[in-house]
A and B are shown apart, each in its own frame.
Chain A
């Protein structure tokens, strides 16, 4: 796409104040998608310790869970997954032709719900023995 002068695309994050709800939804869905795919590969890699021995598996996983930073990452993972699911439901509704008039409101609703669910889960995630 050649441009004789680069005035910045509409996606230019410098213009983020001008972004519409639908555009934010698209950006966040993409971002959370990449994070989840990255996590999927990492997750299978970590679980591959089960191919070693039972002790290796148990000690690796419990060792990771003992780190506070991992607990926080898990909360982040929950937020990312919950948003992707809720916005995904919104997109499925759009694909079925339901509720198109309220598409921007449903985006805001999914953001709020994501926040609420994440905050509500923090005690459970941060509970349990730490190193």
Chain B
């Protein structure tokens, strides 16, 4: 059982995750836009308003999931676009790790922001 059984070669798992995150994002992004531009007007943003929304657990969780899935979908998309263009070898490994780190940093920063918005931090 020491071997990793999954025979997903590089690409198969990320391909599927890209589609799954896509489905989730269609719904959440549309919701985000409608809520923040149509239901509420962007010109009237105040910290108080933001805090009120983010204090609701369900909304907070949705926003955090939004952050993680969007980061994965976007960073994976960029990585694939570059592979299609033909990067290879050391350059490819370097770019891959830069993207991974950038993605992790974004999620970390976004989590801090979310916690500040709901009053926890």
A binding-site residues for B, Cβ under 8 Å:
1, 30, 33-34, 36-37, 40-41, 44, 47-48, 50-51, 54-55, 57-58, 61-62, 65-66, 74, 78, 81, 85, 88-89, 92, 95, 121, 124-125, 127-130
Contacts and interface: CB of A to CB of B under 8 A. Distances in A.
Contacts, number: 89
Contacts of A57: 47, 50
Q: Is the interface of B mostly helix, strand, loop or mixed?
A: helix
Interface of B: 19, 22-23, 25-26, 29-30, 33, 37-38, 41-48, 50-51, 67, 70-71, 74-75, 77-78, 81, 86, 102, 106, 109-110, 112-113, 116-117, 121
24 contacts: A33-B81, A37-B74, A40-B106, A47-B110, A48-B109, A50-B47, A50-B50, A50-B117, A51-B113, A51-B116, A51-B121, A54-B47, A54-B48, A55-B47, A62-B45, A65-B45, A78-B37, A85-B26, A88-B22, A92-B19, A125-B42, A128-B41, A128-B42, A129-B43
Contacts of A36: 74
B77 to A, nearest CB: 5
Nearest to B71: A40
Contacts of A33: 74, 77-78, 81
